[in-house]
Structure 1
Amino acid sequence: MLRWDLTASGVRLSNGSTSVSFVAPDWQPTAVSHALPRHVNAVTAGTVSRLQLPATTGRLTTADGTPRAVSAGQSLGAGTHYLTVGIETSRTAMRTDGCGTKQLARTTEAALETTIAFDGPARIRPLGTDLCIDFDQQSTVTVGVSHEHTIPEHTITVTPTPEGIATALSHLAAGMATTGPERSHPAWRHHPPLVEIGSQIDVPAAIQSRTPQIGIEVKLPPDTEYLYVVAPLAYYLGAQVTVENRTTPVLVAPDADVDYAFSSLPAFQHEVASLVRRCFFVDCLLRDDTEQLPPHHSSLLTEWGLSSNELSEAPPATRLAATLSIPHEAIAPHLPEWYLATYVDADPTHVRSFPFLLDSMSLVYLPAASAFDGKELIRRSLDDFYRAGPQAASVDVLMPELQSGYLHGWLASGTPIDVFKLSHAAYENRLKYGHRDGESLTVDVVLNDDEMEAEHDEVAAIYRERAADLAIDLTVHNSLKCKELAAVFETPTDFVHYIGHCDVDGLRCPDGNLSIATLDEIQARTFFLNACGSYHEGVSLVEKGSVAGAVTLTKVLNDQAATVGTAFARLLINGYDFERAMQLARRRIMMGKDYAVVGDGTYVLSAAEERPPAVVWIEKRGDRFDVTYEAHAAWANGATYPNPRDASETNFYGSKPTYSLSKAELQAFLESHDLPVIFDGDFTWTTDLIEKL
């Protein structure tokens, strides 16, 4: 729960181990006297002569909703003003330095949208890395905050028809905090309202009032496939979605002379994805908080003949028109890699999942796949080395046609490789668990076969090592019977790492097999079933209560299963989402395609010391090394991180800066980072690579 505390320097907002401070030495608490324009999770008020905010940019609106830019040394006249900023919270934890000494460290958490209401006259000025509001005399301010992952307050009900789906998509942008360029920063994007299927359309008045009315409309054929594909564009632009008797879609904004014709499917899905990325990127360049971008980014608007000063305050339709004026070949090479692509079939009930997909800014494509030819894999005949005998459960897998995206989700029939298998149940379960800042992790490691003790011991050691930083409550189990194993899954816990066997009848125990389908409700938030053919049991865990988990698609070798298990545990506990952790872990073995993720593959089990954590790619070029730094996360689209080689610059998440380093420079770089490394194609960690070099 968010809590306000009075401090010697002002007030502090805290939630367990996360906090953010507002400097106002003469703060005197008072009753809330301003009505804030948006819902907030926590609000406080006080009289001050000066209020200092840990933010470098923001957006001003007046009492009538008129937007104003925030500029240095800005004087504001009489009347009520609202200043909205995105503030990053921090986590305080113990870390160990290179000499073994424990020290307090602060690490970045998610952002809070913070709105300050006050009456002028007042003056706004930069103060170091903060913004400062100065008053001529003691004045009352109201401060309200909203967590970016707040559970939505309202639910839209629609019919399972093209008209119903169009209505839902038209209102999901109600979760946006602004229609300005700042919407490209995650702090300004809140979770869209939920969607349910019913016999009639019902949009709550609160959602209707928050839905942008900006004069942009996308007109589509009455086809669910077109509607699903256009969802990310409609959401980001705040466009109204309508269906009518037409054969091809069109995007219109009459006030800006936009009349943009799309192609029909399947080309339509690529055109939409391209336009989403272009509009998003132009907004990123227009934000005030991106002044420290590398030179090749900061000069782009000028190269394209656009005025940053004019466009940053322009209506959304004008910015759309300006984006469309940029030749595709001019902007495409500069676009950061997009984080998530989801493949969704035309089932009308899938509209319930779109608030979650769009919260992660996922692109949407139509699913396409071909049968997987098992002859393409290495023939395996040494059954004695596998995790299970000939009765191991397996699943027929598909070869998907993957499009633009760093990670890939599959909300459709079939089980393709190289994607995580989504279900709406995973999203509902994610809401059930909510946000868990400041709480310790409970981890259960289960060893149900003594021959796999080596993996068991190494995995347990990894969790114990991280316990100093994350307050992990670790329980190690051995040879659990069916009822005992069932109790582990049915008791509240954050992560279950099962090491053992799986047959067609379920997870193997000393007294038989446990079928997850026979259990009532699962309370294990996440899991890893490192056993042969555990896919179906993993799907059951998600359907009955879990958010995400790792599974195997067929039989796996004992030694290779141990290799994947230990690598996956280390990545997961260091803050990598499930799908990325599995992508990296399975690089350690030849048969890595036998592993997959079910549920929400973007889900993160624990906070990372580097949020989001990065991956370093290194290739040897003669006597030098090409080093590429890669950082992504579902929540981070549009945010920036400090350049790992030049702290005076920032990079967008999704960009991949590359440096040519000497061996000595590479050594120094590796010593300053604790990250996974792909070195000449092989997976390792910076600490391990230092020894090899």
Structure 2
Amino acid sequence: MTTQGETLVEFDADGRTLTVRDVVMEASCTFTASDPTDPIRVSTDRFLFPVDAAVSFETASLSLPAHAGVYVRDEEGQVLGHPTETSTEYLPGTYYVGITSYCKLYVKVFDAALETSMDLHNGTGAVDLEFGEPTRVAVGARSLHERPAATITVPDEPSALREALPYLASGIKEWSCERSWPTLRGHPPRLERGGALAIPDALSRPETGVTIAVPETYAALYTVAPLVYYLGADVVPATDPEIRLKNGYTEPLGAPDGALTRRVRSLLGRCLFLDSLVRTAGYHSVDRQEYEAVAGNLPFYPPELYDAAIPEQLMEYLEVEAELLERYVPAWSYDVVLDAEPADAKLLPHVLNSVSPVRMREVGTGVESICDGYGSSPVPTGATHLSVAGFEHNLDAPPREVASERVALVGVDAESDAMDALSATLTGTEHREVEKPFDVKTVEATREGVRTALETEAYGFVHIGVPLTDAGFVCADGVLRPEDVEEVAARVVSVVGDLSVTGSAVDAFVERGACLAFATTALPSHLLGHLLGRLLSGAPFAKAVEWGGFDGIRYRFAGDVASRLVAREGGTWIPEYAVESMTPDEHRLSVITWGGDVGAVSAIESPYIDSGHWLAGQRCEQPGTLTSEEVVDLVDDQDGVYVLNGEVVQRDGVTVTAVRDSARRALDDVASSETTE
């Protein structure tokens, strides 16, 4: 039987050249050896790190492809260093050379001396490995696996969906706490509706010793799907929902209604967060602010669970008081709302890819997330209509550097106001160091102007300022019906008009090619500038709107609005600095970064921010307090979004006087509220 790893990665030898192909991502990397490679397939178990496939051959030297990072590790996985322009020699031993390129690569060197150096003649970042004599090496590759690699066909029967659910976790690369890293969670296979259940032979069902028993209904199956995915659980029918471990232990999950929803999302957050603490004993040992705050209060020592099986870990995790963990669980990409209908099943792979919790429409309690996402109409104000098309289009359009971005403003009045607001909102040194960091084009509001802007692939963002009515876009030379635009090439589309009209239009734009679309009842020029400034600073689209000052303005989205249009310099995520005043001159600070996948970590260097990393999407409260002068210094020193006592403020508006005035207003509001009560 063909394994999934063999379908994800391919090796092709041609003399001294070895080409590694990431089949899923349609990318390749090339190694050059000193001798003909003649590779043979070897077990992936030879590698300390998870790989999809591997080959072995002998060579005296190996030139690595240009890369985003190379590290040398010892046999136990400890980082020893990275190549520089000056050669570095390592004594005979077993080494792993990890390469981040178009796929994840590992070169394992068996019992040999190793010398590394930068190869300046073969492209920026190329590296030479020298072994001194012919040496056995193995090259392992792991697909980035950021899109589905297979498709499961499921008939409209809950029993068939129950059988298919465990296979959605087939892309997870390792069944240890390391799977809390997003890079080890490959995209689940697609689900499509059909006449009979069909699961590709290359997909495997995890065997983690965890079973989840639930009623065989769409409502129950959708609700537990994220937990099934993350735990690698089998799913069996039962009247009373529960987790069953192979050691015989059972954990009730609550009645199949709101109680089940609350318990599942609590366990999902608990497992992911605690796994992220346990993994500090693994591949990437980084200091974590949450570890220092939480570990001492846990009934177990996290590193001791590193090699434990999932049931053993879960037994320990269940002993932790929920109150201890609540503030440390990161915000999810989406609070997903589905209907108990077979049509919503196709969204599950994309929902699980972001490990987002799921609830039914009738369960009104949500979780902190970038945005509420609905699988079908009606879509409430402020939420997004999730669709397979939006997710799939976004997979083909990853975030670009800001210098590559193009924006079209169609029929926008007071363009200079929009550009002034945009400039005031931008963050990031990559914006300030050049006069024109991106291209903004104004387009006349004619029918041809609107059509061309929507159909131009180069545009990342298109805002159509003329109103969209029942008849269509009211252009200078007549009306253009949205349905007359058969294909949308722009990644993001923004329209203005009554939501009863614009809502269905933005849904259609996503189906026809856009990654996401935005409908609002009004978009004044200064708010458009704020929105663009946040978006081009690397904010997820829904956060860019949230920070834009749309108070009193109704809006809704379509598509993957938790995604980013622009990648920030250095691969960082946009930080939000929230200041809460205790007195006019004493303020607490918390920091959260937005845009990272669940389980990733971030860090910020600042004298006002505690050292160490924390989970992306997790609000990290800093110890101590800041004076008003220190708040201003922080804003001057750090790029990001600034929130003073719940109000988003622009960088140039943060002065000592403004901080104190904000504090007095907030404290007066608290005092007034207490008096009223």
C-alpha distance in 1, partners of 2:599/2:345?
22
Moved more, 594-603 or 47-56: 47-56
Seen in structure 2, the aligned counterparts of structure 1 residues 330 and 616 have a Cα distance that, compared at 3 Å, is closer
1:237-248 equivalence runs, <5 A = 237-242=231-236, 244=237, 246-248=238-240
Aligned with 2:510 (options 538, 542, 546): 542
- Any idea what SS the aligned residue of 1:590 has? coil
Residue of structure 1 equivalent to 2:375: 411
Residue of structure 2 equivalent to 1:672: 637
1:241 is displaced (CA, Å) by 1.7
Amino acid in the other structure paired with 2:508: S
Amino acid in the other structure paired with 1:551: A
Aligned with 2:487 (options 521, 532, 535): 521
Residue of structure 1 equivalent to 2:575: 614
Amino acid in the other structure paired with 1:202: A
Residue of structure 1 equivalent to 2:527: 564
Aligned with 2:153 (options 152, 157, 160): 157
Residue of structure 2 equivalent to 1:429: 393
C-alpha distance in 1, partners of 2:240/2:95?
42
**Contact 2:172–2:185 (Cα < 8 Å) also in 1:** yes
- Any idea what SS the aligned residue of 2:567 has? coil
**Contact 1:117–1:142 (Cα < 8 Å) also in 2:** yes
Residue of structure 1 equivalent to 2:311: 317
- Any idea what SS the aligned residue of 1:248 has? coil
1:424 is displaced (CA, Å) by 2.5
1:274-318 deviation line (CA, Å, top 9, x unaligned): 111111111111113664435662474454232434310111221
Aligned with 1:332 (options 318, 326, 331): 326
Residue of structure 2 equivalent to 1:258: 249
Seen in structure 2, the aligned counterparts of structure 1 residues 321 and 155 have a Cα distance that, compared at 3 Å, is same
**Contact 2:244–2:250 (Cα < 8 Å) also in 1:** yes
- Any idea what SS the aligned residue of 1:306 has? coil
**Contact 1:152–1:193 (Cα < 8 Å) also in 2:** yes
- Any idea what SS the aligned residue of 2:372 has? strand
**Contact 1:155–1:196 (Cα < 8 Å) also in 2:** yes
Residue of structure 1 equivalent to 2:122: none
1:323 is displaced (CA, Å) by 1.2
Aligned with 1:629 (options 591, 595, 604): 591
**Contact 2:289–2:614 (Cα < 8 Å) also in 1:** no
C-alpha distance in 1, partners of 2:317/2:602?
21
- Any idea what SS the aligned residue of 2:369 has? coil
Residue of structure 2 equivalent to 1:63: none
C-alpha distance in 1, partners of 2:496/2:432?
21
Aligned with 1:285 (options 250, 266, 277): 277
- Any idea what SS the aligned residue of 1:635 has? coil
**Contact 2:576–2:640 (Cα < 8 Å) also in 1:** yes
C-alpha distance in 2, partners of 1:487/1:640?
40
1:31 is displaced (CA, Å) by 5.1
Aligned with 1:308 (options 302, 312, 328): 302
**Contact 1:466–1:573 (Cα < 8 Å) also in 2:** no
* Aligned: 1:488 with 2:453: yes
Residue of structure 2 equivalent to 1:597: 557
- Any idea what SS the aligned residue of 2:358 has? strand
Seen in structure 2, the aligned counterparts of structure 1 residues 457 and 312 have a Cα distance that, compared at 3 Å, is closer
* Aligned: 1:116 with 2:112: no
Instruction: Report the number of matched residues.
Output: 595
Moved more, 46-55 or 157-166: 46-55
The root-mean-square deviation of aligned C-alpha atoms, in Å, is 4.4
Amino acid in the other structure paired with 2:358: V
**Contact 1:284–1:290 (Cα < 8 Å) also in 2:** no
Seen in structure 2, the aligned counterparts of structure 1 residues 570 and 150 have a Cα distance that, compared at 3 Å, is same
Seen in structure 2, the aligned counterparts of structure 1 residues 247 and 26 have a Cα distance that, compared at 3 Å, is closer
Seen in structure 2, the aligned counterparts of structure 1 residues 570 and 219 have a Cα distance that, compared at 3 Å, is same
Residue of structure 2 equivalent to 1:374: none
C-alpha distance in 2, partners of 1:46/1:506?
66
Aligned with 2:614 (options 630, 634, 651): 651
Aligned with 1:477 (options 443, 449, 467): 443
* Aligned: 1:364 with 2:358: yes
- Any idea what SS the aligned residue of 1:591 has? coil
1:363-385 deviation line (CA, Å, top 9, x unaligned): 1111238xxxxxxxxxxxxxxxx
* Aligned: 1:641 with 2:603: yes
C-alpha distance in 1, partners of 2:332/2:366?
13
- Any idea what SS the aligned residue of 1:326 has? coil
1:170 is displaced (CA, Å) by 0.8
1:270 is displaced (CA, Å) by 0.5
Seen in structure 2, the aligned counterparts of structure 1 residues 470 and 158 have a Cα distance that, compared at 3 Å, is farther
Q: Which runs of 5+ in 2 are unaligned?
A: 1-8, 12-17, 23-28, 45-49, 81-91, 116-127, 660-677
Amino acid in the other structure paired with 1:502: L
C-alpha distance in 2, partners of 1:84/1:282?
29
Seen in structure 2, the aligned counterparts of structure 1 residues 172 and 631 have a Cα distance that, compared at 3 Å, is same
Amino acid in the other structure paired with 1:271: R
Seen in structure 2, the aligned counterparts of structure 1 residues 43 and 304 have a Cα distance that, compared at 3 Å, is same
- Any idea what SS the aligned residue of 1:251 has? strand
**Contact 2:451–2:485 (Cα < 8 Å) also in 1:** yes
Residue of structure 2 equivalent to 1:551: 519
1:124 is displaced (CA, Å) by 11
Amino acid in the other structure paired with 1:168: A
1:77-476 equivalence runs, <5 A = 114-116=104-106, 118=108, 120-121=110-111, 138-146=134-142, 148=144, 150-208=146-204, 211-242=205-236, 244=237, 246-255=238-247, 257-264=248-255, 265-287=257-279, 288=282, 291-294=285-288, 297-298=291-292, 300-301=294-295, 303-368=297-362, 401-431=365-395, 433-435=396-398, 441-448=404-411, 451-455=413-417, 457-458=419-420, 468=434, 472-476=438-442
Seen in structure 2, the aligned counterparts of structure 1 residues 296 and 223 have a Cα distance that, compared at 3 Å, is closer
TM-score (norm: length of structure 2): 0.76
Seen in structure 2, the aligned counterparts of structure 1 residues 495 and 336 have a Cα distance that, compared at 3 Å, is closer
* Aligned: 1:512 with 2:465: no
Residue of structure 1 equivalent to 2:547: 584
- Any idea what SS the aligned residue of 1:524 has? coil
TM-score (norm: length of structure 1): 0.75
1:534-559 deviation line (CA, Å, top 9, x unaligned): 3332222112211102211x4x3xxx
C-alpha distance in 1, partners of 2:95/2:171?
19
**Contact 1:249–1:262 (Cα < 8 Å) also in 2:** yes
1:405-441 deviation line (CA, Å, top 9, x unaligned): 343212232121232222222123224x344667964
Moved more, 302-311 or 596-605: 302-311
Amino acid in the other structure paired with 2:589: V
C-alpha distance in 1, partners of 2:627/2:186?
44
**Contact 2:332–2:598 (Cα < 8 Å) also in 1:** no
**Contact 1:639–1:652 (Cα < 8 Å) also in 2:** yes
1:168 is displaced (CA, Å) by 2.5
Taking every aligned residue pair, what percent have the same amino acid on both sides? Answer: 22
Moved more, 470-479 or 491-500: 470-479
Residue of structure 2 equivalent to 1:498: 464
Seen in structure 2, the aligned counterparts of structure 1 residues 144 and 531 have a Cα distance that, compared at 3 Å, is farther
Seen in structure 2, the aligned counterparts of structure 1 residues 42 and 153 have a Cα distance that, compared at 3 Å, is farther
- Any idea what SS the aligned residue of 1:171 has? helix
- Any idea what SS the aligned residue of 1:537 has? helix
Seen in structure 2, the aligned counterparts of structure 1 residues 459 and 627 have a Cα distance that, compared at 3 Å, is closer
1:14-25 equivalence runs, <5 A = none
C-alpha distance in 2, partners of 1:331/1:476?
49
1:608 is displaced (CA, Å) by 1.7
**Contact 2:578–2:644 (Cα < 8 Å) also in 1:** yes
